Amino acid sequence: MAEKIPVDLWFDPSCPFAWVTSRWLLEVEQVRPIDPRFRFMSLHFLNEDKDVPEDYKARAAKAMGSVRVVAAAAAKHGEEYVGRLYTELGTRLHNQGLGKQPERLREINEAALEAVGLDGNLADAMESEEWDEIIRASHDEGITLVGQEVGTPIIRVGANAFFGPVITKIIRGEDAGRLWDGVLAVTEFDDFFELKRTRTRRPAFD
């Protein structure tokens, strides 16, 4: 069996596109020798000094609470909880549509924590800046690889890092592997920077 290649993915739990890409990466793991490792970043940090709409900034600031919970869980209980918590949070925020109910964010985080066997009171981290330095360090590590003009998801394979791929459905099976092969093929060239077309579909999570 081929040795698995570590693949880092930086995410903010609130981003639907990062969620789709992360689930695709788990599909790739089934058909290619990769080892996905999840890292947190923050859309709040990314946009704090940028000229973006104030309502978007407010949403990103509120969503920072979930990033803090993931960071606190990892610091207190181990890095393995990053991916596990992301799965539970993303399922609730995106698949179940609870991300459209920001007033329930505390409840969502408590349920995600309990689903991975942690104390729901760790959701207190949502309102604490105790973990912000750790979050910023992880965020800066990812964003430094690709530049300030992009966001989440960021993927790193060895010395190769890139933003995306941005996809609107979870590619599965061998198709997931074919997309992975193509992404690696283009991003391994130092002079390759961008392929893009206007999105015409909303993200789907099934």
Measuring CA to CA, how many Å separate 63 from each of 25, 32, 125, 190?
A: 23, 33, 12, 34
Model pLDDT for residues 120-136, shown as the tens digit of each residue: 999 999 999 999 999 99
Choice between 151 and 170, residue whose per-residue pLDDT is larger? 170
Residue 115 above 70 pLDDT? Answer: yes
What's the rounded Cα separation, in Å, for the pair 13 and 164?
15
Mean of the per-residue pLDDT values of the chain: 94
Per-residue pLDDT, 1: 61
Q: How confident is the model at residue 164 (pLDDT cuts 50, 70, 90)?
A: very high
CA distance 195 to 30: 26
> Cα torsion at 20, 51, 60, 137 (round to 10°)?
80
pLDDT level of residue 198 (50, 70, 90 thresholds): confident
Question: Count of CB atoms within 10 A of residue 16's CB?
Answer: 16
141: pLDDT confidence band, cut at 50, 70 and 90?
A: very high
Binned at pLDDT 50, 70 and 90, residue 200 comes out as confident
| Band of pLDDT at residue 82, cut at 50, 70 and 90 | very high
pLDDT of residue 68: 98
Residue 185: pLDDT over 70 = yes
**Model pLDDT for residues 31-81, shown as the tens digit of each residue:** 999 999 999 999 999 998 888 889 989 999 999 999 999 999 999 999 999
Give the least confident one: 26-30, 117-121, 187-191. 187-191
Q: Could you give the domains of the chain? A: 5-187 (3.40.30.10)
**DSSP of 117-133:** T--GGGGGGGG--TTHH
